Structure 1
Amino acid sequence: MLEVLHSLANQSTPLRHGVVFLFNGAEENILQASHGFITQHPWAKQVRAFINLEAAGVGGKEVVFQTGPENPWLVQAYVHAAKHPFASVVGQEVFQSGIIPSDTDFRIYRDFGNIPGIDLAFIENGFIYHTKYDTADRILTDSIQRAGDNILAVLRYLVMSDKLADSSEYRHGNMVFFDLLGVVVVAYPSRVGTILNYIVATATFLYLAKKASRPGNGDLACATGVAVLSWFVTLLSVLIVALLVTLLGRSMFWYNHFYASICLYGAAATGKMILIHTLAKNLYYGVSGLGDLYFDVSLLLWCCGLVWLTHQGLCSAYVPMLMVAFPLATRLLLAKEFKHRGKHSTQLYLQWMFIHRQI
């Protein structure tokens, strides 16, 4: 914050809007300082938007995990200005659902000041955060530089924005937003996302209905049951492993030995999933057509999730939408390719089905 303040104060171009830098404490004591500022300070009534800096870990990428409410222009400002974007509406909806037992000053500014904003936080190495090991030397300078680059760029964009003068005029719905490998952020209005989701779902159901009407196709309903059963057994296996780890007195093992826990729980999950599908193949299906059948099962399950999340009005529905749209489009395009090039396209198709199945 001090470096951003220094940079803004020394730039030659005058700012169109003022910036208030609030260094407040008492956060752990029910967010008292931010509440005092937004309800009692005379400057509070002049604030049109805010950027809240948080931490739930030590370093790493700072993620945008809350925006709004209903001010898509703020998301667009981050999209246009951030040099190293890292954002997901999934984080926003998970955090605001109350599943995570935590809170930030974002809620105070939003609920008591009716001010839109952006909430950013460091999230890596959370096992150190708020412990005796949470010392200054453990904070990576690269993380601070990255955050500074993003915050300074977004602030410069906002202080020159016409929309900041009267942000109340631009309250029109929520945004679906997510980054692609930290390179670029995709953002579009949630109403557009709803239309897109239902179009993808309709196309998928029509495709599956057409395949099911053909003679000689595999039993999609039974294969779906096997897939769901494999998920249930996998979840049960992971819970049993977690129980054993807890009984051994290592209940937080996964927190500070992340990659070891991935191997431990991943081995249990993968083993049980392979076991269920192997038994189903040997006892019921036989060998032929399994790849094609489970590709359709994957589409069906993701599509059901897509319809449910969209019906609930959740922007996170973009996740199953992507998991349906791209495989389906690839399948249809490759089907046409088969007709022209024959078996030379088969290898690419089988590789894609394998990758999709793993996802």
Structure 2
Amino acid sequence: MLEVLHSLANLSTPLHHGIVFLFNGAEENVLQASHGFITQHPWAKQVRAFINLEAAGVGGKEVVFQTGPENPWLVQAYVHAAKHPFASVVGQEVFQSGIIPSDTDFRIYRDFGNIPGIDLAFIENGFIYHTKYDTANRILTDSIQRAGDNILAVLKYLVMSERLADSSEYRHGNMVFFDLLGVVVVAYPARVGTILNYMVAMATFLYLAKKASLPGNGGESLFSLWFVTLLSVLIVALLVTLLGRSMFWYNHFYSSICLYGAAATGKMILVHTLAKNLYYGGVRLVELGELYFDVSLLLWCCSLVWLTQQGLCSAYVPMLMVAFPLATKLLLAKEFKHRGTHSIYMYINCKCIALLKKKKKGIF
């Protein structure tokens, strides 16, 4: 905040709007400082928007995990200005659901000041946050640099924006937003997302219904595979909990993907192979690839419909997991027909893209 303040103070271009830098204390004691400012300070009534800096870890990329409420222009400001974007509406909906036992000044400004804003937080190495190992030497300079680049760029954009003069005029609806590989942020209105989700779900169900009507497709084993796969993942989770490693997924995220993903994939292949060998006289890679693809597609499509009906913007996640593999399958239908194992490879590749992240460095 001090470095951003220094940079803004030395700009040659005059700012269209003022900026208040608020260094809060008493945060861990029911957010008293932010509440005192927004309810008692004479400057509070002049504030039109805010950027709240938080931490649930000691470094990494600072993620945009709350915006608004219902001020899509703030999301658009971040989309246009942030140099190293990292944002997801999933974080917003998970946090606001109350599942995570935490709170931020965002709630104070929103509820007591009726002010829209953006909530940013470091989340990496959260298992040492607020412990005796949470020391200054563990804070990565790259993380501070990245946050400074983003916050300075977004602030410059906002203080020059005409929308900041009366932000209430632009308060309408929620936004679906997420970054792609930390390079660009995709953002669109929630109502557009609802239409898109139902279109993808309808196309998927039509595809599966048409395929299930074909003779000898093995579709009767879809639900059994679904059940056994879910059961295997729950068993792994139970074992991890009994071993006293229930937070294993938090400090070893990619290892947990391998652990649960390998269990699910292995169980699906095993059950399908046994079923085909026992009841259908042998299994072919073409059939195995097709069935794996269909089961995965059905799982994600059911999640897509349910989340959309709940009015959650997070439905974009299963939408992507359905739309890209299905589009790939339909575009390369002839190739899949002759070389069915590509169904597995292409589907896995489409999902793995979302897991790729890049680390960037810079200087003020």
Same fold (TM over 0.5): yes
String of CA shifts for 1:166-203, please: whole Å, max 9, x gaps: 00000110000000000000001111111111111122
- When normalised by structure 1's length, the TM-score is 0.85
Query: Are 1:334 and 1:349, in contact at CA under 8 Å, matched by a contact in 2?
Result: no
Cα distance change, pair 15–143 in 1 and its aligned pair in 2 (3 A)? same
1:112, CA displacement in angstroms?
A: 0.8
Instruction: Tell whether 2:241 aligns with 1:243.
Output: no
String of CA shifts for 1:200-258, please: whole Å, max 9, x gaps: 1122222222223334433xxxxxx9988776555555555555555555555555556
Larger CA deviation: 130-139 vs 113-122? 130-139
Larger CA deviation: 150-159 vs 266-275? 266-275
Query: Are 2:325 and 2:346, in contact at CA under 8 Å, matched by a contact in 1?
Result: no
Cα distance change, pair 13–293 in 1 and its aligned pair in 2 (3 A)? same
Cα distance change, pair 299–256 in 1 and its aligned pair in 2 (3 A)? closer
Q: Secondary structure at 1:64's aligned position in 2?
A: strand
Query: Are 1:82 and 1:153, in contact at CA under 8 Å, matched by a contact in 2?
Result: yes
Q: Secondary structure at 1:42's aligned position in 2?
A: coil
String of CA shifts for 1:116-166, please: whole Å, max 9, x gaps: 000000000112211111111110000000000000000000000000000
Cα distance change, pair 309–54 in 1 and its aligned pair in 2 (3 A)? same
Query: Are 1:81 and 1:150, in contact at CA under 8 Å, matched by a contact in 2?
Result: yes
1:280, CA displacement in angstroms?
A: 3.0
1:275, CA displacement in angstroms?
A: 3.6
Query: Are 2:222 and 2:291, in contact at CA under 8 Å, matched by a contact in 1?
Result: no
Larger CA deviation: 73-82 vs 320-329? 320-329
String of CA shifts for 1:270-316, please: whole Å, max 9, x gaps: 5544443333333345x762322332232222222111111111111
Cα distance change, pair 51–342 in 1 and its aligned pair in 2 (3 A)? closer
> Partner of 2:180 in structure 1?
180
Q: Secondary structure at 1:133's aligned position in 2?
A: coil
Cα distance change, pair 26–228 in 1 and its aligned pair in 2 (3 A)? farther
Cα distance change, pair 145–346 in 1 and its aligned pair in 2 (3 A)? closer
1:324, CA displacement in angstroms?
A: 1.4
Q: Secondary structure at 1:165's aligned position in 2?
A: helix
Query: Are 1:38 and 1:109, in contact at CA under 8 Å, matched by a contact in 2?
Result: yes
Cα distance change, pair 311–3 in 1 and its aligned pair in 2 (3 A)? same
Q: Secondary structure at 1:164's aligned position in 2?
A: helix
1:109, CA displacement in angstroms?
A: 0.5
Counterpart-to-counterpart distance in 1, 2:124 and 2:24: 23
Cα distance change, pair 206–134 in 1 and its aligned pair in 2 (3 A)? same
Cα distance change, pair 309–172 in 1 and its aligned pair in 2 (3 A)? same
Larger CA deviation: 244-253 vs 126-135? 244-253
Match of 1:256 among 246, 251, 254: 251
1:23, CA displacement in angstroms?
A: 0.1
1:339, CA displacement in angstroms?
A: 9.8
Counterpart-to-counterpart distance in 1, 2:241 and 2:338: 57
Q: Secondary structure at 2:194's aligned position in 1?
A: helix
1:328, CA displacement in angstroms?
A: 1.6
Query: Are 1:64 and 1:88, in contact at CA under 8 Å, matched by a contact in 2?
Result: yes
Identity %: 91
Counterpart-to-counterpart distance in 2, 1:63 and 1:342: 39
Counterpart-to-counterpart distance in 1, 2:273 and 2:133: 47
Aligned-pair Cα RMSD in Å: 3.9
Cα distance change, pair 321–249 in 1 and its aligned pair in 2 (3 A)? closer
Q: Which runs of 5+ in 1 are unaligned?
A: 219-224, 351-358
Cα distance change, pair 157–259 in 1 and its aligned pair in 2 (3 A)? closer
Larger CA deviation: 102-111 vs 125-134? 125-134
Counterpart-to-counterpart distance in 1, 2:133 and 2:341: 59
Larger CA deviation: 257-266 vs 90-99? 257-266
> Partner of 2:96 in structure 1?
96
Q: Secondary structure at 1:118's aligned position in 2?
A: strand
Larger CA deviation: 28-37 vs 144-153? 28-37
Aligned residue pair count: 344
Cα distance change, pair 280–214 in 1 and its aligned pair in 2 (3 A)? closer
Pairing of 1:12-161 with structure 2 (within 5 A): 12-161=12-161
1:267, CA displacement in angstroms?
A: 5.7
Query: Are 1:38 and 1:44, in contact at CA under 8 Å, matched by a contact in 2?
Result: yes
Query: Are 2:39 and 2:112, in contact at CA under 8 Å, matched by a contact in 1?
Result: yes
1:105, CA displacement in angstroms?
A: 0.6
Cα distance change, pair 99–281 in 1 and its aligned pair in 2 (3 A)? farther
Q: Secondary structure at 2:100's aligned position in 1?
A: coil
String of CA shifts for 1:14-51, please: whole Å, max 9, x gaps: 00000000000111111111111111111111100000
Query: Are 2:174 and 2:190, in contact at CA under 8 Å, matched by a contact in 1?
Result: yes
Query: Are 1:338 and 1:346, in contact at CA under 8 Å, matched by a contact in 2?
Result: no
Q: Which runs of 5+ in 2 are unaligned?
A: 349-363
Q: Secondary structure at 2:70's aligned position in 1?
A: coil
Query: Are 1:226 and 1:277, in contact at CA under 8 Å, matched by a contact in 2?
Result: no
Larger CA deviation: 341-350 vs 81-90? 341-350
Cα distance change, pair 236–217 in 1 and its aligned pair in 2 (3 A)? closer
Counterpart-to-counterpart distance in 1, 2:46 and 2:233: 52
